[in-house]
Amino acid sequence: MTVTIRQIGPCLAGEVEGIDMRQPLNPDEVAAVHAGMDKYAVLVFHNQFIDDEQQLAFTRSLGEIELALHTGLRAADEYRLPTTFADVSNLDQHNRPMARDDRRRLFSIGNRLWHSDSSFKAVPAKYSLLHARSVPSKGGNTEFADMRAAYDALDDETKEICENLVCEHSQIYSRQQIGFFDLTDEERERFKPVRQVLVRTHPVTGRKSLYLASHAGAIVGWPVPEARAFLRDLIEHATQREFVYSHKWAVGDLVMWDNRQTMHRGRPFPAHEARDVRRTTLAGDAPTVAQAEAA
């Protein structure tokens, strides 16, 4: 079957037909998916009733997997999924919804802020692939913001200011925004800030994007209050409705996005209902600062 992609968002998101993730991808299908990601930055695949191994196989056909290590507050004996998956569900290791005051759940509420996956790592993620196994009765949408369009819409003066800035990213910064300060010394060390450029250039298309996230809490060389106010203004600009696609989940949906060109956030849903969504992630190529210096 021929792979076709139809635009479904105002300035990003394409709906894919002609891919069956239960079967291995051939080279033409791999090329079509990558080309779709370069163009749309968000791809939606419906009716993919796959298991963990099939999701892993599909992901690995597109590149190297980033392991989900040391990114949340689950202890080693509390993992529900192998580290080839990021468990972004609200379920504990016994597949039960976490209590409302569980610190693991409260930490994960930070995912409701606009962010880019793994921007708090020295080598940030390339693609994320999120598959829905169960969804709540209401809410739980995921929203995506097109950071290419957001960059294009900036005035020339702001583009010039942003061009050579380097930000510091950490989950400490994003969790502070929701009032979560309950971190151990070990966790604070694990989440210590890393540096990322504020403007990224796509290696295939050459388009520039703002590289923003709630994890960004400082700009190198700037006073912190001024930096945070500036970054907040940029996020407000980048998440205007004309730049945003909102995905309403159905069981079997797999949504794939390019973290280099988008931000996203999860929306609230009833705390007592299960939301089982499993993310595989493609590793990035290199630190963004090193990439910028080499360009």
What tens digit of pLDDT does each residue of 108-147 get? 999 999 999 999 999 999 999 999 999 999 999 999 999 9
pLDDT at 6: 96
Tell me the percentage of the chain whose pLDDT exceeds 70: 98
**Mean pLDDT for the stretch of residues 28-38:** 97
**Mean pLDDT for the stretch of residues 213-238:** 98
φ/ψ of residue 50, rounded to 5: -120, 160
Q: Does position 10 have pLDDT exceeding 80, yes or no?
A: no
> How much of the chain is in helix, strand and coil states, percent to nearest 5?
30, 25, 45
The rounded distance, in Å, linking the Cα atoms of 190 and 175 is 14
Q: Does position 105 have pLDDT exceeding 70, yes or no?
A: yes
pLDDT at 234: 98
The rounded distance, in Å, linking the Cα atoms of 272 and 139 is 13
The Cα-based distances of 184 to 42, 75, 104, 188, 211 in angstroms read: 36, 13, 13, 6, 28
CB of 222 within 8 A of CB of 161?
A: no
Confidence class of residue 11 from pLDDT cuts 50, 70 and 90?
Answer: confident
Q: Does position 278 have pLDDT exceeding 70, yes or no?
A: yes
Q: Does position 294 have pLDDT exceeding 90, yes or no?
A: no
φ/ψ of residue 273, rounded to 5: -100, 150
pLDDT at 290: 75
Tell me the percentage of the chain whose pLDDT exceeds 90: 95
Confidence class of residue 293 from pLDDT cuts 50, 70 and 90?
Answer: low
The rounded distance, in Å, linking the Cα atoms of 86 and 279 is 5
Q: Does position 295 have pLDDT exceeding 70, yes or no?
A: no
Q: When comparing pLDDT for 11 and 179, which is higher?
A: 179
Confidence class of residue 260 from pLDDT cuts 50, 70 and 90?
Answer: very high
pLDDT at 9: 74
Alpha carbons within 13 A on the beta-carbon side of 107: 17
CB of 121 within 8 A of CB of 282?
A: no
The rounded distance, in Å, linking the Cα atoms of 5 and 82 is 31
Whole-number average pLDDT of the chain? 96
The rounded distance, in Å, linking the Cα atoms of 136 and 115 is 22
The rounded distance, in Å, linking the Cα atoms of 11 and 294 is 30
Q: CA 13, 10, 249: angle at the middle one, nearest 5? A: 45
**Mean pLDDT for the stretch of residues 159-171:** 97
**Mean pLDDT for the stretch of residues 13-28:** 97
pLDDT at 291: 60
**Mean pLDDT for the stretch of residues 232-251:** 97
Q: Does position 192 have pLDDT exceeding 90, yes or no?
A: yes
pLDDT at 292: 59
